[in-house]
Amino acid sequence: DQQVKQNSPSLSVQEGRISILNCDYTNSMFDYFLWYKKYPAEGPTFLISISSIKDKNEDGRFTVFLNKSAKHLSLHIVPSQPGDSAVYFCAAPPNSGNTPLVFGKGTRLSVIA
């Protein structure tokens, strides 16, 4: 049973427009969420996170929104740039200790110039 779901395997967006990547989770105990970005042949790199005590966290062009009642989060990138083309993973630690992350399957974003 997948605890973190990214239902869109891919997304194409024009340069300059907004990219919205979605993530759903099933475990109501999750209280912290992360987005990682992965380029081919590289490891995932941390992008942005959000704690469940917030509903929004912003860092430059990247904003993550959390809707706890819907068990849904989304990553907004605006404006999108060609260098944003990568696979984006939503992840969460399932426990309060330093436990490994549970990842979604990822969404491949292509930003078209």
Residues in contact with other proteins by CB under 8 A are 4, 6, 9, 32, 34, 36, 41-46, 49, 51, 89, 91, 93, 95-106
Minimum distance, C-beta of residue 46 to other proteins, in the bound complex (Å): 5
Distance from C-alpha of 21 to C-alpha of 19, rounded to nearest angstrom? 7
Minimum distance, C-beta of residue 14 to other proteins, in the bound complex (Å): 25
Asked whether 90 and 103 are in contact (CB, 8 A), the reply is yes
| Beta partners for residue 95, in sequence order | none
Distance from C-alpha of 38 to C-alpha of 103, rounded to nearest angstrom? 13
Closer Cβ to other proteins, 62 or 103, answer by number: 103
Helices (H) and strands (E) in the chain, counts: 0, 11
Minimum distance, C-beta of residue 69 to other proteins, in the bound complex (Å): 22
Closer Cβ to other proteins, 8 or 79, answer by number: 8
